Structure 1
Amino acid sequence: MPSAKVISLSELKRWVASSVSRMKTVVGGNGTVGFRAAPTRSGNNDGKIGSRLDYWEKFVKDGKTYQRLNWQLNRDAENSTPKKLAQQDSHYVWSTADVEVVENPSDDQAKTEKEDVFDQLERNITQK
């Protein structure tokens, strides 16, 4: 059975994948450090999904610019496990992914990059 963190990450992926514009926002790599990439704070997203992606630093590697995305748990998650973990330290980064900064990615490019981002996030989940 998947852990509550993995379930939360799957819900976040589902939320992002449900709209091409959401995918483009997340994988465009043009976010402001410390601000949220997904999900929006509207409605009950934080509670239902239980986690979020925040934009972090940009860096250059092999001549390409990337932006790091940090995955964090939400203090107001409906599931008690992520909620408890976030209440201990809501700024703890449970995983990271690096996305290449691409101006106006195509729909297909956004879908491909979204898969890569979530593959990275799943591979990089830390245990605490």
Structure 2
Amino acid sequence: MPSAKVISLSELKRWVTSSVSRMKTVVGGNGIAGFRAAPTRSGNNDQKISSQLDYGKKFVKDGKTYQRLNWQLNKDAENSTLKKLAQQDSHYVWSTADVEVVENPSDDQAKTATEDVFNQLERNITQK
């Protein structure tokens, strides 16, 4: 049975990938470090999804610019386990992913980059 963190990350992925514009927002490289990439704070996203992606710093590697994305749990999570973990340290980064910054990505580029981001996030989950 998948852990609560894995389920939350899957819900976040479902939310992001349900719209090409959401994918482009997350992977487009226009985010400011420390601000939320997904999901929006509207409705009950924080409670239902229970986690969020925040933009991290941009960096250059091998001549390409990347932006780090940080996955964190929400203090308002419906799931009691996730809520407790988030309330202990709401700024703890449970996983990270690096996405190459591509200005105005095509739909296909956004889809491919988003899939890569979530694969990285799944691989990098910490167990704290």
- For Structure 1 versus Structure 2, the TM-score category normalised by the shorter chain is over 0.9
Q: Which runs of 5+ in 2 are unaligned?
A: none
- Counterpart for residue 19 of structure 1: 19
- Counterpart for residue 34 of structure 1: 34
- Counterpart for residue 80 of structure 1: 80
Using the TM superposition, give the Cα deviation of residue 49 of structure 1 relative to its aligned residue in structure 2, in angstroms: 0.1
Question: Quick one: distance in 1 between partners of 2:81 and 2:122?
Answer: 18
Using the TM superposition, give the Cα deviation of residue 30 of structure 1 relative to its aligned residue in structure 2, in angstroms: 1.5
Q: How does 1:1-128 map to 2 (within 5 A)?
A: 1-128=1-128
Q: Deviations over 1:16-71 (max 9, x none)?
A: 00000000000112100100000000000000000000001000000000000000
Identity of counterpart residues, as a percentage?
90
* Runs of 4+ deviating beyond 2 Å: none
Q: For the aligned residues, what is the CA RMSD?
A: 0.4
Using the TM superposition, give the Cα deviation of residue 81 of structure 1 relative to its aligned residue in structure 2, in angstroms: 1.0
TM-score (norm 2): 0.99
